[in-house]
Structure formats: C-alpha cells, structure tokens
A and B are shown apart, each in its own frame.
Chain A
C-alpha cells in the first residue's frame, strides 16, 4: 500500500514536470499563431490576449500578396537548394576519400572537418564580405550560395563520413575485385546504401541555410535579394513592428522546416545498412 502510494506520488510529480516542459515549449508557438490571426489593433487588446477570439486571416493575405514575401520565399528556396546541393556533391567526394583512402594526414584531416564546422560566422562574416565584394558578387544570390559553403561543406562531409564508415568495406572490395572502378563503387554501392544519410545531410544543410541570418544581412542588402529571415525583419513602419504580419510570415517560414524535420526523423531511424549485411 505504502509502496503503491509512493508510486502514485512519483508518477504525479513526473507528469507534472513533463506538463511544465510541454507548456513552456508550446506557449510561444501558440501565442505566435494567435498573433498572426489578429488585426494590428486587436494585437494590443488586453481583454482577448490569450483567448482564441476575433481571429482573421488578413495578415496572411497581406503578407503573401502585399509584400516581397514571394520574392524572399523564392530566394530562400533557391539559396537553400543550390547551396545544399553543391555542398552535398563536395561532401560526398570528400567524405568518401577520407573514409576509404589512406593517405598521409587523412585522419587529422577527418577530425579537422569537424573543427571547420565549428568556426563561427561571427569570425568569418567580415573577410567573406571583402572576398565576395572583390569577386564582384555582392548583392547577388551567388554571394549567399558561396558563403553558405563555409558551414554546409564541413557539415555534410562530417555527417557522411560517419555514415560511410558504417558501410562494410567488404561490400566494396567485392565490387572492386569484380572490376568496378572507385567511382563506380561510390555510385553503385556506397550512395544507394547511404541514401538516408544523404537525404538527412541535404535536409539539415537546407534548414541551416534557410535559417541563416548574419551572412544574409551583410551580403544581400537589397530588398529583392533578401532571404526570408532578413525580409521578415523589415516588416516595420518607422519604428512600429507589425506583429500580426511578422508572426504570419514567421509561421510561413517555420512550417517547411518543421515538415522537413519530421521527414528526417523517420529517415534517421531506418538504418539501411543493417539489412544489407545480414542478408
């Protein structure tokens, strides 16, 4: 009896704590959605601050039609997809050679890939600005695609390196003996086996590019070249921030990232290699 009672107390405390976490994590999101559905006047109305009343969709319509939102969205997609695609090609080649080919310093180089990923944009943004302005690429989307390689290439390389190392070398050796060339092995055996890893690396690179702010502020200053984060921040008249519109735009920017994240979660679990070795 006593033990049962203790269990009930323990469980109540546990779920209470969990509830606090869920509320603290969810509340800002709930409030964001509420704000996005309110007129600029209702946003400041204290009487209905927390209740879902007087909701309208006007902000979404205004944001999509009445601003540069569509241009920013397109820019974000162009920059995200192309910078991730380029990084993925470089990353696949770099990671494969680091995982399989033994050359002088290959281990040190493998570790330094991670350190390269850790070099922050706060250190690199000024030299990148100068380099890109010397290349006459300032205020083009190329500037961002190029700048994002500084974090996307180390990231995809590091991630794929871990993935390639889990693929048994025996599989590749068999193919090499059968007369397949190195690149053939890469294309026919390694890439299909690491498909989940490649998809995950692409999605993470894409979201990192999608969320990037500092390079985007510095390198593409003209309104028609902005990506979503910088564009959305400019929703203000003089010093007044239009919170309803900002939150509507912020939700539009968050939904793709959330959707991709849910997609990746499934991929990560799959783990294709286990099956191929056992069979």
Chain B
C-alpha cells in the first residue's frame, strides 16, 4: 500500500529534475526547474503569495463561521438535529456544483449578488467580481469559506457536547460572563479538535484546484492562481510537464510540516 503513494511521489521528484515536455521524453537538468521557479519565475512568486493569502483567510474564515455555527447549535434550540443536517449542505454538495453556482451568482452583468447589492443600494454599479483583480481573490475565498465552514461547525459541535455541563454551572455560580465562559471553558474544551480540523483544512485549502479552476481559471492576470492550477496550466496547457512537476513537488515541504504537527494531536485525541 505504501508503494501506491511512495512510487508516484518518487516519480514526481524524478520528473521535476527533467526538462520533459508532454509526449516527449526529456533529459536531466537536475535542479534547473527549481532554480528557474525560485529565481526567475515572477508568476510563481504570485502563486506562492496567492496560496498563502487564500489559505490563511479561508481557514480563518471557516474557523470563525464554523465556531459560531457550533455555538448556536450547542445552545438549547429546537430541532437541533435537523438544523445540523441542513447546515451541512455546503459540505455535502459536490464542490464543482458549488464552484459553478457561485460563479454564476458572481456574474458581472446578470449575477444575483450584484442584483441584490444594487437593489439594496449598497453599490451603484455592478461589479465584475471574478474579472477584477481587486475582487477576484476575495470572491473565491468567500466561496471556499461557504463550502468549508460546516466541517468546522460539526466537528466543534461534537467537541462542545463532550464538555461536562457542571463546568458551566460552576462558572455560573461564580458569576462568570458568557465571554469568560467561552474563552475559559469552551475554547480549552475544543482545543484539540480545533487544531486537528485547522490542520486538515489547511492541507485541503492549500492544495485546492476545483474552486479556482472552475471559477476564475486562475485569472484575472494570475490574481487567483494557486499551486495546483498553475501546475496544471504549465503542464497540460503549456506541456512543460517537468517544470509542472517541480511546481507541485514544492507542495511537499508544507505537507510534511502539517503532517508532523498533526501526528501528536491525533495521538492526543485518541487518548481523550
């Protein structure tokens, strides 16, 4: 089973050392691709900056929106099970469906988001959300948050429900405010779960392909290109498959750091 994945990764590294083109066998240029990526390729620098921005803001957004969702569902509300199932919809719907639907909602001329904002008088002219370099990244991030927050919400809710109720009762006796209870009881209680979900989401978000590919194709002017979309463009639209391998191979250091951070947390959650 290890071979199932070790072989392709070794293969990726091997290819990233070649100047191979699609359909043509290449020769070894050793670290030539990596040197070009890191020193000459301005677009790659944008890709790195985009990926960091996209991941940080998306994950931060998902944590906040997911945490509030969990707090609402953890309060005494009616039909909790039904609402939990309902709010999970963005997570269950196929990602390509989400990406295409939001692309349509963001449409610059007939999009419903512009329609609503214009009707409410919040904007005066329609905005070409996905075609404008200043709004495209934000629009893509918003979609990604919408898709991913239920994963945080449901995981955090499960962790919150495992917190013993007498902790809150004792805090009530001591006259603690809701805010104090949140920071001193709830947050410590969900800490491990929060850390695990954050790491998992960071890995998935950093490696995202579908949302950007289907919504903007990496544009406008490379403003939303991420590692995966850029590697695809270079490798399959531009046929420089060796160079593309080097791009996606540079994802491994981040992946290894994330997995190293995850490992002790998994052990901890199994003990709890």
Q: Is the pair B92, A250 in contact by a Cβ cutoff of 8 Å?
A: no
* Cβ-defined partner of A213 (8 Å) among B9, B95, B262: B95
The answer to whether residues A119 and B255 also contact, given A18-B72, A150-B4 and a CB cut-off of 8 A, is yes
- Residues of A with C-beta under 8 A to B263: 111
State whether B207 touches A121 (Cβ < 8 A): yes
- Cα A153 to Cα B4 in complex, Å, equals 9
What's the dominant secondary structure at chain A's contact region?
A: helix
Residues of B227-272 contacting chain A, CB below 8 A: 227-228, 231-232, 235-236, 241, 244-245, 248-249, 251-252, 255, 258-259, 262-263, 266
B150 — which chain A residues lie within 8 A by C-beta?
A: 25
Residues of chain A in range 105-162 having any CB-CB distance to chain B below 8 Å: 109, 111-116, 118-131, 149-150, 153-154, 157
Q: How far is the CB of A251 from chain B (nearest CB, A)?
A: 8
A154: shortest Cβ distance to chain B, in Å? Answer: 8
Query: Mask for B78-117, Cβ within 8 A of A = 1, else 0?
Result: 0000010111011011111110111011000110100100
Q: Would you call A176 an interface residue if the criterion is a C-beta within 8 Å of the partner chain's C-beta atoms?
A: no
Query: In this complex, what residue of B is CB-closest to A243?
Result: B104
Residues on B with C-beta less than 8 A from A126 are 12, 15, 231, 235, 241, 244-245, 248
Q: Flag if B251 contacts A233 (CB, 8 Å).
A: no
- State whether the Cβ of B214 lies closer than 8 Å to any Cβ in chain A: yes
Q: A164 to B236, alpha carbons, bound, how many Å?
A: 42
Interface size on B, residues (CB 8 A): 67
Chain A residues within 8 Å of B75, by CB: 14
- Residue of A with least CB distance to B14: A127
| Given known A44-B110, A128-B8, A213-B210, contact A28–B69 (CB-CB < 8 A) | no
A129 CB contacts on chain B under 8 angstroms: 241
Q: Which partner residue on chain A sits nearest B260 by CB separation?
A: A115
Q: What total of A-B pairs shows CB separation below 8 Å?
A: 188
Q: Flag if B266 contacts A114 (CB, 8 Å).
A: yes
Interface residues as binary, A33-69 with B (CB distance below 8 Å gives 1, 0 otherwise)? 0010000000110100110000000000000000000
Residue of B whose beta carbon sits closest to that of A34:
B112
CB distance from B201 to the nearest CB of A (A): 11
Residue-wise, chain B 205-233 has the 8 Å CB interface mask toward A (1 for contact) of: 00111100110000000000001100110
Partner of A258, one of B11, B87, B92, B104: B92
Name the CB-closest residue of B to A149.
B4
Tell yes or no: A77 within 8 A of B by CB: no
Q: Interface extent on A, as a size class?
A: 35 or more
In the complex the two chains form, is B100's CB within 8 Å of A14's CB? no
Does B120 make an interface contact (CB < 8 A)?
Answer: no
Distance, CA A127 to CA B115, complexed state (A): 45
B5 contacts A119, CB within 8 Å? Answer: yes
Is B170 at the interface (CB under 8 A from chain A)?
A: no
Question: Residues 194-229 of chain A: 1 if any B CB is under 8 Å from the residue's CB, otherwise 0?
Answer: 000000000000010011011001100000000001
The answer on a CB contact under 8 Å between B255 and A25 is no
Say yes or no for A5: interface residue by CB 8 A criterion: no
Q: For residue A92, give the distance in angstroms from its CB to the closest CB of chain B.
A: 13
Q: Is the CB of A31 within 8 A of B112?
A: yes
Chain B residues with CB under 8 Å of A17's CB are 68, 72
Contact A253 B94 (CB under 8 A): yes
Does B72 contact A24, Cβ atoms closer than 8 Å? Answer: no
Binding site for B on A (CB under 8 A): 14-15, 17-18, 21-22, 24-26, 28-29, 31-32, 35, 43-44, 46, 49-50, 90, 94, 109, 111-116, 118-131, 149-150, 153-154, 157, 207, 210-211, 213-214, 217-218, 229, 232-233, 241, 243, 246-247, 250, 253-254, 257-258, 261-262, 265
21 contacts between A and B (CB under 8 A): A21-B72, A22-B87, A25-B90, A29-B89, A35-B104, A46-B110, A111-B263, A118-B255, A118-B262, A120-B228, A121-B207, A122-B231, A124-B8, A131-B11, A150-B4, A210-B94, A211-B94, A214-B210, A247-B104, A253-B96, A265-B85
Residues on B facing A (Cβ under 8 Å): 1-2, 4-5, 7-9, 11-12, 15, 68-69, 72, 75, 77, 83, 85-87, 89-90, 92-98, 100-102, 104-105, 109-110, 112, 115, 146, 150, 200, 203-204, 207-210, 213-214, 227-228, 231-232, 235-236, 241, 244-245, 248-249, 251-252, 255, 258-259, 262-263, 266
